[in-house]
Amino acid sequence: MTKNTPINYEIVSQKISDSGLDEVGSGSIREIKKLIDNIEDASGEKFIRMEMGVPGLPPAEVGIKAEIAALKKGVAAIYPDIHGIPSLKNEISRFAKNFINIDVSPEGCIPTVGSMQGSFASFLCVNRTHKKQNKVLFIDPGFPVHKQQLQVLAQEWETFDVYNYRGDKLKDKLESYLAKGDISSILYSNPNNPSWICFTEKELKTIGELATKYGVIVMEDLAYFAMDFRKELSTPSVAPYQPSVANYTKDYILFISSSKVFSYAGQRIGMMVISDHLFNSDFPDLLRHYKTPNFGYSMIFGTLYPLSSGTSHSAQFALAAILKAANDGEFNFVDTVRVYGKKAHIMKKLFIDNGFKIVYDKDEDEDIADGFYFTFSYPGMSGVELLGEMVYYGISAISLAITGSDRNEGVRACVSLVKEEQFVDLEMRLKAFNTDHS
């Protein structure tokens, strides 16, 4: 590797050594963030930051106003109900109907401390519904922290990369795991973090029908709700709707984040939507850990209560106002984040023009959408090797190796923090990389 790199070679090498990482590409998202922070501070050079999947837009104004008003009324001094304030629960239920076209009662619409608390609580409760069904099946690639949560809980999981099992191939692959009889739940994200693939209706139907056949609960991570910009998903009560397994099975939990689509990440509030059938179901094996076999009661008072005793009171008023504006057709939340797709389109072209390839590039026969993430590779290099080289060129991302992907050559890029004025620098650095490595 040449030492004449856009970022000072000696500084980068020293900071990598100081970080304690054996390989940059094997680092977690937060470890890479800290490393790049240190290199930027020491070199004075600004990186093209693509490692963190965080919003890059101002928060929804309607939420800010509602939260300020709630704080002025004194809600900060009052504990919120664990299951959420009534106005928010009602708006979540309306939102599910307006934008997914599903009927869920407000009772099963519960605010959580971000979607991550929703998944953590769900792992605790779902994996105890049946004594012999105690494993999560991940349809990967996926969000690495979900597996970290299971590690903390000492719970087990299975996983497979969906890359080679799209469309008709998904059924046999999925059933090969479910037929073993030890899977309690299936988890995937749609649109997907990190690959940005989106499951088709046929694939969601396959997942839902097999889950019903084997008595498995589906947990669907909708952190990037309605952000498949190939479709117009932003009009309430008008098709097309956000695709969801909820249309194909009766036992599901949806995690809907306010962080990306509403840019309200800092207040740590998300939504857990539990189907009516699951919420009201009784599982005798829950009595091993809870006072009741009822799933909904065990989730709220047996799981969420000891985790956090409720979600930020003022943030609940903010989210209720955001959802009401969206439900009433006064706030087109998709339009506000469409810029992510525009940036991805430009950035992907810059990578391709300079010798890189898009790794996850298709939804069955259709090109994937331009959105919050994309994945890339460079000929002859693994993702870990590629990331280790790219930091010398002022570009950061994460390796697909930490996401459950079998595509060991791949790297995930997030477009959110990259400014349009950085595209010139990005192009120059990619050209330099390609010149040095072609």
The torsion angles phi and psi of 359, rounded to 5 degrees, stand at -80, -65
**Structure-token match 């929703």, residue found:** 118
Domain ranges of the chain: 9-45+338-437, 61-327
Tokens of 299: 């989730």
pTM, entire model? 0.94
Q: What is the CA radius of gyration of the chain?
A: 22
Q: What is the pLDDT of residues 41-83, one digit of tens each?
A: 999 999 999 998 889 899 999 999 999 999 999 999 999 999 9
CATH tag, 61-327 = 3.40.640.10
pLDDT category, 4, cuts 50, 70, 90?
Answer: confident
Mean of the pLDDT values across residues 369-389? 96
What is the rounded distance in angstroms from the CA atom of residue 421 to the CA atom of residue 36? 20
> Which contiguous run of DSSP H or E holds residue 157?
strand 156-161
CATH architecture of 9-45+338-437: Alpha-Beta Complex (3.90)
Query: Over the stretch 83-136, which tens digit does the pLDDT of each residue have?
Result: 999 999 999 999 999 999 999 999 999 999 999 999 999 999 999 999 999 999
Which of 34, 13, 14 has the alpha carbon at shortest distance from 396? 34
What's the rounded Cα separation, in Å, for the pair 42 and 7?
10
- pLDDT over 70 at 398, yes or no: yes
- pLDDT over 80 at 172, yes or no: yes
What is the per-residue burial (b if ≥16 Cβ within 10 Å, else e) of 115-125? bbbbbbbbbbb
pLDDT at 56: 87
The whole-number average pLDDT for the span 175-190 is 98
9-45+338-437 and 61-327 agree in CATH topology:
no
Residue type, 398: I
**The pLDDT value given to residue 1:** 62
CB atoms within 10 A of CB 355: 15
Residue 428 has what DSSP assignment? H
Extract the tokens encoding 76: 């900060």
